[in-house]
Amino acid sequence: MTMPCCRGFGKLALALLYLAAGCDRPQRNVIQGYVEGEFVYVASPLAGALETLSVQRGGQVNSGDPLFALECGAETAAQAQAAKRLEEGRARLEDAKKGKRPPEIDALEAQLKQSHAALELSEKEFTRQTGLFRSGAASTQELDKARSIRDQDRQRVSQLEADLQTAQLGSRSDQIDAAEANVRALEAALARADWDLSQKRQNAPQAGLVFDTLYRPGEWVAAGRPVVVLLPPENIKVRAFVPELRVGTIHPGDPVRVLADGVKEPFHGKVSFISPQAEFTPPVIYSQESRGKLVFMIEALFDSAVAARLHPGQPVDVQFGP
């Protein structure tokens, strides 16, 4: 009489066992994955002691916010020296274009007036000696002397007129070209000094999380060594490894749902990358069973607001499809 009851109880237990097994059985559409971050390492191309650290680990920064500054005494002095040299070079160029100074031109004009007066006097003396020579009152030697003095005065006047004209014109064209080339070289030197000085202070190239700071104020930072590590939200992604049997059904742009422990609502994103190479390849593929061992990495991206809630290294469940 007890047999039917036992049989009914056994069927119920077996059904509950199947139900429990079904609950423990993983969903076929869910693939294990993890959150990955591509960090931005901010460094200075020049070496120096860390003077100021403007951020702390775990903080948020906007694009353009100051991150750190290195000591810049040598660069500041070099920039000031380059600026002074450029100022001097420009002054020399302007002086070459203007020619001689006004006092120097005034002196040449005074000398020219004296030469004109001397020439006028020698012309009269030569005329007088010519008349005396014709009347027999002067010798040939006295006439030649008067002629020589007149010719010298004429040459002196011509020379001073040429000197005055040259002084008013300024330097030669090749000298001006050389001065202009020197100014351009000094401008380039100043631009380099300005760049060196600016590189001692680094600002945030992107908005994001200050993931880490690698130096403390006062420590020496070698050239090119990162000081601050940033994690922009757009650089946060999810990676999952899909079996070869399913990778053909997934395409870039397909929707993705990501489930994280402790978070009720899923994170929605899109497939951004499918690896063209398998992560595991047997030595020789002969059978369907061997092909089933292949997995392909797939990456998914999210909006900045969604990605900011994910953390690198965090394990997640990934579902492909709407």
Q: Is 318 exposed, middle or buried (0-12, 13-18, 19+ CB in 10 A)?
A: buried
223 plus 273 within the same structural domain: no
Q: For residue 290, what pLDDT is reported?
A: 58
Same domain, 220 and 140: no
Which of the two residues, 60 and 101, has the higher pLDDT score? 60
Residue 167 and residue 121 share a domain:
yes
Interhelix angle 73-98/173-198, nearest 10 degrees: 160
pLDDT of residue 99: 60
Q: What is the pLDDT of residues 292-302, one digit of tens each?
A: 677 889 899 99
Q: Which of 195, 212, 242 is the last residue of a domain?
A: 195
DSSP codes of every residue in 20-89:
HHHHHSPPTTEEEEEEEE--EEEE-SS-EEEEEE---TT-EE-TT-EEEEE--HHHHHHHHHHHHHHHHH
Question: pLDDT digits over 139-164, tens only?
Answer: 888 888 888 888 888 888 888 887 77
Which of 195, 220, 242 is a domain's end point? 195
pLDDT at 156: 86
| Cα distances (Å, whole numbers) of residue 26 to 22, 32, 140 | 8, 11, 136
pLDDT at 221: 96
Which amino acid type is present at position 236?
Answer: I
Which pair of tokens denotes residue 138? Answer: 């002067």
pLDDT band at residue 108 under the 50/70/90 scheme: confident
How many domains, in total, are found in the chain?
Answer: 3
Task: Please report whether residue 9 resides in a domain.
Answer: no
Per-residue pLDDT at 25 exceeds 50? no
More confident residue, 52 or 161: 52
Q: Quick one: average pLDDT of 200-224?
A: 96
Residues 86 and 178 in one domain: yes
157 shares a domain with 300: no
Taking Cα atoms as reference points, which of 232, 233, 221 lies closest to residue 68?
221
Domain containing 286 equals 27-38+233-320
Q: Does 253 share its domain with 284?
A: yes
Cα 122 to Cα 48: distance, rounded to the nearest angstrom:
78
Whether residue 3 lies inside any domain: the answer is: no
| β-strand partners of 256 | 269, 320
CATH, residue 220: 2.40.50.100
In this structure, what token pair is assigned to residue 125?
């003396």
Please indicate, yes or no, if residue 93 is contained in any of the structural domains. yes
259 and 117, same domain (yes or no): no
Look at residue 264 and tell me whether its pLDDT is greater than 90: no
CB 304 within 8 A of CB 234: yes
16 lies in a domain? no
Terminal CA-to-CA distance of the chain, rounded, Å? Answer: 55
Is the model's pLDDT at 100 over the cut of 80? no
Same structural domain, 210 and 242: no
113 and 138 in a single domain? The answer is yes
Is residue 83 located within the same domain as residue 189? yes
Residue 158: DSSP 8-state: H
Q: What is the pLDDT of residues 164-177, one digit of tens each?
A: 776 666 556 778 88
* pLDDT for the residue numbered 286: 47
Residue 21 falls inside a structural domain:
no
Q: Are 114 and 163 contained in the same domain?
A: yes
Average of per-residue pLDDT values in the chain: 84
Do residue 217 and residue 263 come from a single domain? Answer: no
